[in-house]
Structure formats: structure tokens, C-alpha cells
């Protein structure tokens, strides 16, 4: 009987001390680089607003460099480089559409406006990516210039010409998201005064 009482007491002691052991913060797993980068990505995308949040998460999580960024500077560099590459591809697609699909001269002007915006954004993202190490404040300013008013100019020109192509609308939405991401990631960098 004494042995079963001792066994019961030992089992109860173990049972009661287990929650204390497992809840100890010292024993909690350290955050992994992936969880830190996911926090950076999620924090960035939360600032894009409800309309762009899902697209932002898709963009940043699908790219290995942005998804694994371990600091705001790493995320800014990776996101700006991704913005340059992606926007250049879409600009080229717009040019192809302009050359192959647009047969009426009056419809080429809206496409020209949009191509100019995409090209200007590529340039601003590129300039900003070169400035993030040296001058984060200027990098942020240049990132903001990528979407000063050209987005609405492009959309208005297409709408007034009666052009509603889902492929182009998706490219515009993606570039708007990149513009927002670029501003947010450069704004998160420490500013030197």
C-alpha cells in the first residue's frame, strides 16, 4: 500500500509541476528567422490597407528574398528590387499589348500614359533601392514619387477610352500595391537627422 501511495504522490507531483515547466518563458522556443520575417511582412502588409493587404501578402510571401528578410533594411532592399523587376515585366507586357492589340490610334494614348507610369515607377524604385543604405529619407521620398498621381492618370485614361481589360487592371493594382509597399518599407527605416 505504501508503494502505491508513493507512486500516486509521485504521479501527482509530476502532473502538477508539468504546467509550470511547459509555461516557463526560458524554455519557450526562440523566434525563428522565418517568424521574424513573417512579422515584418505582415506588419508591412497591415499598413497597405484592407484593399491591398491580401495582394501584398501574396507578393511578399511568394518571393524568397522578401519572405526571408530579417530586418527592415533587408525587406526594403528585397521589396524594392522585386518592385523594379516585376514592374519592368508588366511595362513590357503593356508595350506588347499596345503593339499587338491596339489597332485604333485613339486607343494608344491611354496605353502610352500607363506605360509611362510603369516606366517612371521602375526608375523611382531603382533609385530608391540604391539610396536605402545611405539616405533612407531620400529613398522614402523617391519611393513616394512612384505613385504621386500617375496611377489615377492611367486609370482615368483607360476608363475614358472605354478600355476595361482584366489583365491590365491586375497590373495596375499590382503596381499600386508595389508603390504602397515601397513607401512603407522605406518609411520603416531609421532616419538620420
What is the DSSP code string of 175-186?
Answer: HHHHHHHHHHHH
Q: In terms of pLDDT, which residue wins out, 173 or 103?
A: 173
Does residue 4 lie within any of the structural domains? no
Does residue 23 lie within any of the structural domains? no
Does residue 6 lie within any of the structural domains? no
Does residue 28 lie within any of the structural domains? no
Does residue 104 lie within any of the structural domains? yes
Number of other CB atoms surrounding residue 156 within 10 Å: 12
pTM of the model: 0.78
Does residue 5 lie within any of the structural domains? no
Does residue 83 lie within any of the structural domains? yes
Summarised one tens digit per residue, pLDDT across range 43-68 is: 999 999 999 999 999 999 999 999 99
Say what the pLDDT of residue 31 is: 44
Number of domains in the chain: 1
Long-range contacts at 164-169 (CB < 8 A, ≥ 24 apart): 165/97, 167/93, 167/97, 168/94, 168/97, 168/114
Say what the pLDDT of residue 6 is: 58
Full domain range(s) for residue 182: 33-187
| Residue 44's CATH number | 1.20.140.40
Q: Average pLDDT in the 117-137 region? A: 94
Q: For 136-145, give one letter per residue: b (16+ CB within 10 A) or e.
A: beebbbbbbb
**Cα end-to-end distance, the chain, whole Å:** 77
Q: How far apart are CA 60 and CA 40, in angstroms?
A: 10
Does residue 18 lie within any of the structural domains? no
3, 7, 16, 21 from 11: Cα distances, Å: 12, 6, 9, 15
* Band of pLDDT at residue 85, cut at 50, 70 and 90: very high
Amino acid at each position: 500500500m505504501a508503494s502505491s501511495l508513493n507512486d500516486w504522490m509521485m504521479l501527482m507531483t509530476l502532473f502538477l509541476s508539468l504546467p509550470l515547466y511547459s509555461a516557463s518563458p526560458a524554455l519557450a522556443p526562440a523566434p525563428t528567422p522565418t517568424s521574424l520575417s513573417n512579422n515584418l511582412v505582415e506588419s508591412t502588409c497591415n499598413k497597405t490597407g484592407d484593399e491591398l493587404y491580401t495582394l501584398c501578402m501574396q507578393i511578399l510571401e511568394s518571393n524568397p528574398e522578401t519572405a526571408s528578410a530579417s530586418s527592415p533594411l533587408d525587406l526594403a532592399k528585397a521589396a524594392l528590387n522585386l518592385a523594379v523587376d516585376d514592374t519592368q515585366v508588366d511595362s513590357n507586357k503593356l508595350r506588347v499589348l499596345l503593339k499587338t492589340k491596339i489597332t485604333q490610334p485613339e486607343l494608344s494614348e491611354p496605353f502610352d500614359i500607363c506605360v509611362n507610369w510603369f516606366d517612371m515607377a521602375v526608375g523611382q524604385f531603382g533609385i530608391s533601392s540604391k539610396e536605402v543604405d545611405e539616405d533612407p529619407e531620400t529613398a522614402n521620398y523617391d519611393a513616394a514619387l512612384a505613385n504621386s498621381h500617375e496611377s489615377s492618370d492611367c486609370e482615368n485614361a483607360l476608363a475614358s477610352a472605354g478600355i476595361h481589360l482584366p489583365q491590365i487592371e491586375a497590373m495596375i493594382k499590382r503596381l499600386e500595391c508595389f508603390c504602397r509597399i515601397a513607401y512603407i518599407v522605406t518609411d520603416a527605416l531609421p532616419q538620420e537627422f
